[in-house]
Amino acid sequence: MTITHEENEAIIGRASINDIEAILATPLVDPNEVEHVVKNNADSIFTWDYSLARPQLRKLYEKAKTGQWNGTTDLPWDMDVDVEKTVAEDQALIGNGIDPNWYAETPLAKWGDKEWLEFGIQSRKWSLSQFLHGEQGALICTAKITETVPWYDAKLYASTQVVDEARHVEVFARYLDEKLGGGYPINAHLEMLLDDIINDSRWDFTYLGMQIMVEGLALAAFGYLHQLTNEPLLKQLLRYVMSDEARHVAFGVLSLKEVYDGMSDAEIKDRQEFAYEASIRMRDRFLQQEVWRHMGVDPKVVVPLMVNDPGRKMFQQLLFAKIVPNCKKLGLLDRNDKWLRHRFEEMGVIQFENMENTGEEYLQFELGKEVGAPAAN
Ligand SMILES: [Fe+2]
Ligand SMILES: [Fe+2]
C-alpha cells in the first residue's frame, strides 16, 4: 500500500516525499514582489432558496455574529514587546525547536547563545509572517466560497468569516510591523498551495484546502504557540484568533460531510489526493529555508538532517492533530482502500485519528474558555 514513485510524481511533483533537492529547488518568492495574481476559475452561484436548510451552519452564523472582536481596541497594543527577552524565555522552555546535537557535522555546531537567539527571533518573525500570508489566503478563499457555494446558509456564514480573516490579517500584520520590525515574504510551498486552492474550479476544493487543511494546521500551530509563549500581547492575539479559527474549521467539516457522503469513490480519490498534496506542501514549508539563508547557513546542509530530527518530527506531527480527525470525520481516511490513511501512516501522523473532530469541539474555543494545545499522542 506504499505510494509508488509515479503516484507521488503525479500528485506532489517529485518521486519521494523526502527528496530534499526537489524541495529546495523551488525558487524563493521575490522579496520585492508587491502583487501576485492567481486565476480564479470558479462560477459564482446565486441561490433563490432562502429557507433554513442547514441548521448547524445557521448556528455557526449566529455564533460568529456574537463572537466578533475588534483588533484595534480589544488588544493591548500599547504594551512594549522585548523580542529578545520573550524569545529567550520561550527557548528556555522548549529549547531551540531543534536539537543542536543532531547537527554536529554542520556550521550549527559552532553556534553560541547569540546565534541561537538570533535564529529564534528570525524563526518567530518567519512563522508569524507565514501565518499572516496564510490569513490573507483565507480572506480570499472565504470571499470565494461566499460566491461559489450553492447553499444560502453557507453563504451567510462564509461572509462572517471574511470579516474574521480581515481581522486576522490586520492583527498579524500590525504585530509584525510594530513589535517585530517586519517579516518575511511568503514561503514558496505555501504560495503553491494557496494558488492551487484558488485555482480550482470545484467549490468544495476551496473548503478542503483552506478550512480543513490550512486552517486545521493553523488551529494546531496557534494552539502550540499560544500555550508556549509568555508574551502577553501575542498570547492574547492568538487566543482571539483561535476563537474564530475553530469556527472556520467547523464550517469546513459541517459543510463537506454532507457533500462527501454522497460522492463516488473516484470523486473521493481526487479529494484524498488533494489532501495529501496539501499535507506535503505544508510539511515542506516548515523546513524554513528562508531563515537558514538569513542565518548564512546553506539549507542543503541542514534540511536533510532536519527531516529526521526527532524534536522537529514531534512538532511537525503535532501540526496534524486537527487535520487527521477532521479528514476521518469526512470519510477521507478510509475510502478507496484506506488510501489517505496509508499516506498519513507514512507521514507518522495517523495517531491523531481518534481525537475529537472540530465540527464537535469548536465551542470549546469560545472566548472566556480555557484552551490547551493538542497532546503529542
Ligand atoms: Fe484566520
Ligand atoms: Fe480562519
Q: How close is the Cα of 165 to the center of ligand 1, in Å?
A: 5
**Ligand nearest 169 Cα, by number?**
1
Q: Which residue would you say has higher pLDDT here, 100 or 85?
A: 85
Confidence class for position 135, pLDDT limits 50, 70, 90:
very high
DSSP 8-state class, residue 374? P
State the angle between helix axes of 265-285 and 335-346 in degrees (0 to 180), rounded to the nearest 10.
Answer: 10
> Cα–Cα distance between 9 and 13 in angstroms, integer?
4
Question: How far does the centroid of ligand 2 lie from the alpha carbon of residue 135, in Å?
Answer: 7
Q: Which ligand lies nearest the alpha carbon of 250?
A: 2
Residue 371, by phi and psi: left (phi above 0), alpha (psi -120 to 50) or beta? beta
State yes or no: pLDDT of 368 exceeds 90. Answer: no
Distance 328 CA to ligand 2 centre (A): 20
Would you say residue 85 has pLDDT above 90?
A: yes
- Going from the Cα of 298 to the center of ligand 2, the distance in angstroms, rounded, reads 34
- Distance from the alpha carbon of residue 348 to the mean position of ligand 2, in angstroms: 26
With pLDDT > 90 as the criterion, what percentage of the chain qualifies? 73
**109 C-alpha vs ligand 1 centroid, how far in Å?**
37
Q: Nearest ligand, CA of residue 246?
A: 2
3-state secondary structure of 25: helix
Nearest ligand to the CA of 71 is: 1
Rounded-to-integer distance, Cα 118 and Cα 84, Å: 8
Question: What is the 8-class DSSP label of residue 183?
Answer: -
Give me ligand 1 centre to Cα 333, in Å: 25
Of the ligands numbered here, which is closest to the C-alpha atom of 245? 2
Closest ligand to the CA of 252: 2
CA of residue 5 to ligand 2 center, whole Å: 34
Residues 275 and 113: their CA atoms lie apart, in Å, by 40
- Alpha helix (H) residue ranges in the chain: 5-12, 20-25, 55-66, 83-94, 113-148, 152-174, 188-199, 203-206, 215-228, 232-261, 265-285, 289-294, 299-306, 310-318, 323-329, 335-346, 358-361
Looking at residue 14, its pLDDT comes to 87
Q: What percent of the chain has pLDDT over 70?
A: 98
Rounded to 5 degrees, φ, ψ at 110 are -90, -5
Nearest Cα residue to 140 out of 274, 277, 38, 249: 38
Q: What are phi and psi of 351, to 5 degrees?
A: -60, -15
Which residues make Cβ contacts (< 8 Å) with residue 135, sequence separation at least 6? 165, 168, 169, 172
CA distance linking residue 359 with residue 255, whole number of Å: 10
What band does 42 get if pLDDT is binned at 50, 70 and 90?
A: very high
- Ligand positioned closest to the Cα atom of 134: 1
Q: What is the pLDDT of residues 220-277, one digit of tens each?
A: 999 999 999 999 999 999 999 999 999 999 999 999 999 999 999 999 999 999 999 9
> To the nearest whole number, what is the mean pLDDT of the chain?
92
Ligand 1 centroid to residue 89 C-alpha, Å: 27
Report pLDDT for 100: 76
Angle at 356 between CA 354 and CA 362, to 5 degrees: 160
Assign 375 a pLDDT band (cuts: 50, 70, 90): very low
* pLDDT at residue 370, rounded to an integer: 82
Closest Cα to residue 256, out of 244, 243, 267? Answer: 267
Task: Please report the pLDDT score of residue 373 as a whole number.
Answer: 47
How far, in Å, is the centroid of ligand 2 from the Cα of 295? Answer: 31
Closest ligand, as measured to the CA of 172: 1
**Which tens digits make up the pLDDT trace of 299-323?**
999 988 888 888 788 888 889 999 9
Class of domain 111-377: mainly alpha
For residues 282 and 214, the answer to whether their CB atoms sit within 8 Å is yes
Ligand positioned closest to the Cα atom of 142: 2
- Starting from the CA of residue 247, give the closest ligand: 2
Question: Which ligand is closest in space to the CA of residue 241?
Answer: 1
Q: Which ligand is nearest to the CA of 170?
A: 1
- Rounded to the nearest whole angstrom, what is the distance from the C-alpha of residue 226 to the centroid of ligand 2? 16
Is residue 168 left, alpha or beta, with left meaning phi > 0 and alpha meaning psi from -120 to 50?
Answer: alpha
From 41, 370, 64, select the one nearest 197 (Cα to Cα).
Answer: 41
User: In angstroms, what is the span from residue 138 Cα to ligand 1's centroid?
Assistant: 6
- pLDDT band per the 50, 70, 90 thresholds, residue 91: confident
Helix (H, G, I), strand (E, B) or coil at 169: helix
